[in-house]
Structure 1
Amino acid sequence: MHLDGVLFFPVTPFTPDGGLDEEALREHVERGVAAGAGGVFAACGTGEFNALGLDEYERVVRIAVEATAGRVPVLSGAGGSLPFARSCAEAAARAGAGGLLLLPPYLVNAPVRGLVKYVEQVSAATELPAIVYQRGNARFTPEAAVELAAMPNVMGFKDGLGDLDLLQRIVLAVRQAGHREFTFFNGLPTAEMTVPAYRGIGVNLYSSAVFCFVPEVALAFHKAVTAGDGEMVQRLLAGFYRPLVELRDLVPGYAVALVKAGVTLRGLDAGPVRPPLVDAAPEHVARLERLIGKGLEIAGC
């Protein structure tokens, strides 16, 4: 599986009474693919994987696969307790996903040896290729990353820690081990803020939550950074992404809630978030709306 371009992590729309809004999800994915997403990652962090039941999860993945219609790869989240993660992997395969993003195990802090076994057992539940997500309580050593890269079903490594020293050592160790092609990408919240730094160590792919609600800005940034247009990169970082991050950091969980608010502001009602997250406050939504306008202005849209 080859991934390229801006990676799209759709939200999971809910109805006012908290149910899954299947039609809104379908339209959201269709819009993102039509806008130029390089891949769709359904039911992951931005898609509130943590809040979905297994039946809902499978429906979300199936709708994403149907809406994408084979135009780009579709991957989905799997994580939590070992039995639930394996059930997610099996459900994703039934729903037609092309791969998995392996999220951290539930709550516990574990030694690296246990994390490697967790990845091994979840990835063995299906033949789907998997990307391992390093963040929170799932922190790997370079030696462990080499073990992951040797597993038949593991195709990549997504970093959500932001420890560039550790990631540089992981990248070097995996590449020096001489395994097959292995994909690395930046998975920090609002990843564009750190894209220049990650590119400096050879990690060019990144996930974009911004693409969910203002793909014009996300694509303008991607075009600028890949073309070496440093002036446009800096204008977008200073004028749009930095104030967005400052707004996001006001309330825990706004990395999802603000994205949902942005999707709604752009004309598709994404509904509320599920507890324990909280919806963006009206004054913060108003700030987000002004930021969207500023971003579009900078991008020339």
Structure 2
Amino acid sequence: MFSGSIPALVTPFAADGAFDEAVYRDLIDWQITEGSSALVPCGTTGEAATLTADEHFGIVRICVDQAAGRVPVIAGAGSNDTQVAAANIRRAKEAGADAALMVPPYYNRPSQEGIYQHFARLAEQADLPIVLYNVPGRTVTDIQPATLVRIVTTFPDIFVAVKDASGAIARVSAHRAGCGPDFVQLSGNDDMALAFNAMGGRGCISVSANVAPRLCAEFQAACQASDYAAALALQDRLYPLHDALFTDASPGPVKYAMTRVRPGFPQGLRLPMTWPSEASRNAVDAALAHAGLV
């Protein structure tokens, strides 16, 4: 259902923290023109944790409106409360999203059985496809391969893909063995996307694509064409950027990078996120120059 380069969109905020709708709409048009194959509003990179529920799904609605059917929209909608997560899926559907991106419950740290039961309950109520999002570095909770296979094979019409940011590259093969070769696996780590795709992945839900959408789209196209020489050359060009965008708390570095490649892009972040350090900004500058983006 999904493939290629899929940016986890930043949410532009003015200096006072207000959402800048005009800039967001312009960002969406640029992403589509540059070759992004789908869009993820209100994920981690979009600072979903500091959005009110009304802001969150209002932004999803704007994204859907501006995309206007040109690419699918996968709305961030996860929660550590199963009832809230179910309500979020309903609101994402009402906003016009094509799918919901759902992390497992965080903070309360359920068992693997609890993770399964969480998603089973969502599957019973959902009328929107779900992309599982496993990011234990943020959630602490980790969807183990056996649990993911159980979820996907029990509800194959609901769970259509996984964004895997576990960093455990062998899981691509484990998921492929358990869910079948047609199950869509998307990397959640830009720096691992080359190996991920070589092992059977279909694309990446990307931070770097905010800044370098055309290069990221070309990289994914090379992978899908099995032109791994071209993909490796693009990986080498993009790797310093993948690294630099996490030299300080995300999304600070990527928002700084946006001001470099999109002059006039607002510098706002909502606390507790802050502007990146000088060292981080210098790393981003060097990476942008290496990639030929400035």
Pair 1:261-2:256 in alignment: yes
Q: Distance in 2 between matches of 1:133 and 1:26?
A: 25
Q: 1:284 and 1:65, CA in 2 relative to 1: closer, same or farther beyond 3 A? A: same
- Render the CA deviation track for 1:155-197: whole Å, top value 9, x for unaligned: 1222110212334222201128xxxx53211112xx2x21232
- Render the CA deviation track for 1:122-172: whole Å, top value 9, x for unaligned: 344430100111121332333322322121422122211021233422220
Q: Distance in 2 between matches of 1:211 and 1:165?
A: 24
Q: Which amino acid aligns with 1:135?
A: V
Q: What is residue 91 of structure 1 aligned with on the other side?
A: 91
Q: Distance in 2 between matches of 1:115 and 1:220?
A: 36
Q: 1:194 and 1:246, CA in 2 relative to 1: closer, same or farther beyond 3 A? A: closer
- Render the CA deviation track for 1:2-26: whole Å, top value 9, x for unaligned: 2232112211111111122122111
1:1-301 correspondence runs (5 A): 2-82=1-81, 83-136=83-136, 137-149=140-152, 150-151=154-155, 152-175=157-180, 181-188=182-189, 191=190, 193-241=191-239, 243-251=240-248, 253-254=249-250, 256-267=251-262, 268-296=264-292
Q: Distance in 1 between matches of 2:54 and 2:33?
A: 27
| Structure having greater relative contact order (Cα 8 Å, sep ≥ 6) | 2
Q: Which amino acid aligns with 1:247?
A: A
- Render the CA deviation track for 1:40-79: whole Å, top value 9, x for unaligned: 1111121112221101101110010011000111110111
Q: Is the 8 A contact 1:142 1:174 kept in 2?
A: no
Instruction: Report how many residues are paired.
Output: 287
**Secondary structure, aligned partner of 1:92:** helix
Q: Is the 8 A contact 1:59 1:95 kept in 2?
A: yes
Unaligned 5+ segments in structure 1 are: none
Q: Distance in 1 between matches of 2:164 and 2:288?
A: 27
Question: Pairwise CA RMSD of aligned residues?
Answer: 2.3
Q: Is the 8 A contact 2:3 2:202 kept in 1?
A: no
**Secondary structure, aligned partner of 2:247:** coil
Q: 1:144 and 1:97, CA in 2 relative to 1: closer, same or farther beyond 3 A? A: same
Shift of 1:103: 1.7
What is the TM-score when the length of structure 1 is the normalising length? 0.86
Q: 1:19 and 1:247, CA in 2 relative to 1: closer, same or farther beyond 3 A? A: same
Q: Is the 8 A contact 1:124 1:153 kept in 2?
A: no
Moved more, 136-145 or 227-236: 227-236
Q: Which amino acid aligns with 1:62?
A: R
Q: Distance in 2 between matches of 1:174 and 1:287?
A: 39
Unaligned 5+ segments in structure 2 are: none
